[in-house]
Amino acid sequence: KNQVEQSPQSLIILEGKNCTLQCNYTVSPFSNLRWYKQDTGRGPVSLTIMTFSENTKSNGRYTATLDADTKQSSLHITASQLSDSASYICVVSGRVDYKLSFGAGTTVTVRA
């Protein structure tokens, strides 16, 4: 069973609107959580990283939050642009073996 579940699987938003992506994980004990952006036909690129002691991290219009107690993270995209169309992947690292667990991703489509 995948230890990282992302929702929704896909979403469509209009340019300029905001959206929030969810990531629930069961990895325990937890070390850190990253969000990656993957453009079509490209490899993933890191957006943010949060350790278990951090609860929010921003990178431009991207803001990630983390609740280590409920094992949930979200990625909020503000004032979306066409270039935000991509797959967003949540990756969680365990603290014991430092193994990475990848979510299946949320595909975001921004329409003009």
Partner 1 sequence: NAGVTQTPKFQVLKTGQSMTLQCAQDMNHEYMSWYRQDPGMGLRLIHYSVGAGITDQGEVPNGYNVSRSTTEDFPLRLLSAAPSQTSVYFCASSYSSPAGPVDYYGYTFGSGTRLTVV
Q: Which of 19, 30, 33, 34 binds partner 1 (CB under 8 A)?
A: 34
Among 77, 105, 106, 108, binds partner 1 (CB under 8 A): 105
Q: Give residues 35-54 in contact with partner 1 (rule: CB under 8 A).
A: 36, 41-46, 49, 51
Interaction between residue 100 and partner 1 (CB under 8 A) = yes
Stretch near partner 1 under the rule CB under 8 A, chosen from 10-18, 33-41, 61-69, 76-84? 33-41
Strand partners, 106: 88
CA distance 44 to 12: 20
- Cβ neighbours of residue 18 closer than 8 Å, sequence gap 6 or more: 76, 77, 78, 79, 80
Report d(CA 76, CA 47) in Å as an integer.
12
Q: Rule CB under 8 A: is residue 11 a binding residue for partner 1? A: no
**H-helix or E-strand containing 100?**
strand 100-102
- Which residues bind to partner 1, rule: CB under 8 A? 2, 4, 31-32, 34, 36, 41-46, 49, 51, 89, 93-95, 98-105
